[in-house]
Amino acid sequence: MPGVERLTALPAALRAPGRTLVMGVVNVTPDSFSDGGRWFDADAAVAHGLELLGQGADLLDVGGESTRPGAARVPVDEERGRVLPVVRRLVAAGAAVSVDTTRASVAEAAVDAGAVLVNDVSGGMADPGMAAVVARTGAAYVAMHWRGHADVMDAHDRYDDVVADVRRELAERVVALRRAGVRDEQVVLDPGLGFAKTGASNWPLLAHLPELVADGLPVLVGASRKRFLGHLLAGADGRPVPPAARDHATAAVTALAAAAGVWAVRVHEVAASADAVRVAAAWRAAGAPPGSTAGTTTKAGRATVRVGHAAGRTPGPEGVR
């Protein structure tokens, strides 16, 4: 997987497993689109996380604030109170844990509690203090493509070329992170499927994942149960299928994303995706030329937007949780 060997902010087991990793979602929220608050209680959330580990999750993403379209923000103390007990208990159980938050104070507290990665859907734009926390703690950091909070993001689904625009805006975030002292070795990029992308905008990003992977930093993909899959699978009446009925489609996206060389996929139902990444790894290995790396990808069609590796280098030319 291109760029993964440089992700030294993560434990070795999360850098070079020879396949795409599976990140299991643990929503400690009462209003998640995907599970309706089934894991809102801390005991239930911990039990669910351990179940996901048993299904093959490589790491667990714990979040205490819903980012489904239209969701209102929760007070920071409430988010912290939801997340930290679950993070501590899962870490104590031996899990590699990520914290899903846009708030610097929550991220810092979670890292202090043992989280190894901060998964920020805003890419540092929601909280000006986030980059400093990431730089100071040395934690791995997912910077997602983002154009606004859940209550307004659908209005920002306007692109000249969604693939080029997302790659350019992510490259700008990398430059901003570097200026704040965040090392490339900490950074993972996420194209932000469903965030300021209500439907058709998601498919070109998936189709051109090899280009984003080739830009040089590890990539996380979060397509699980999202609206664009629900609309794709709609019945004759045009109504999207419910979130839990989107898991087979999610596993199909996982296989394709893994074949494209992404570092990890973020999913609600782990077992099928755990199988899918292994199929993709075997597929890639079988197709690699002798003496080459199975993770090599090619660029096609569009100009490359390089994020580069040297600090300070300038880059060239349905959001549901």
CB 90 within 8 A of CB 67: no
pLDDT of residue 302: 45
For residue 152, is it within any domain? yes
Along the chain (321 residues), what's the average pLDDT of each consecutive run of 10 residues? Answer: 81 88 93 60 94 97 80 87 97 97 97 97 94 97 83 66 94 96 96 85 94 94 93 93 94 97 96 97 87 47 47 38 52
Task: Give the per-residue pLDDT at 48.
Answer: 96
CATH number at residue 132: 3.20.20.20
pLDDT at 299: 37
103: number of Cβ within 10 Å = 25
Domain contains 48: yes
Residue 198: inside a domain, yes or no?
A: yes
Would you state the pLDDT for residue 129?
97
Q: Name the pTM for this structure.
A: 0.86
Here the tokens at position 223 are 């397509």
The structure tokens listed for 180 are 């704040």
Catalytically active residues, by annotation: 226, 266
Residue 231 forms part of a structural domain = yes
**Does 293 map to a domain?**
no
| Cα-trace Rg, the chain | 18
In-domain check, residue 315: no
Q: Quote the domain boundaries for residue 73.
A: 4-287
The answer to the question of residue 296 being in a domain is no
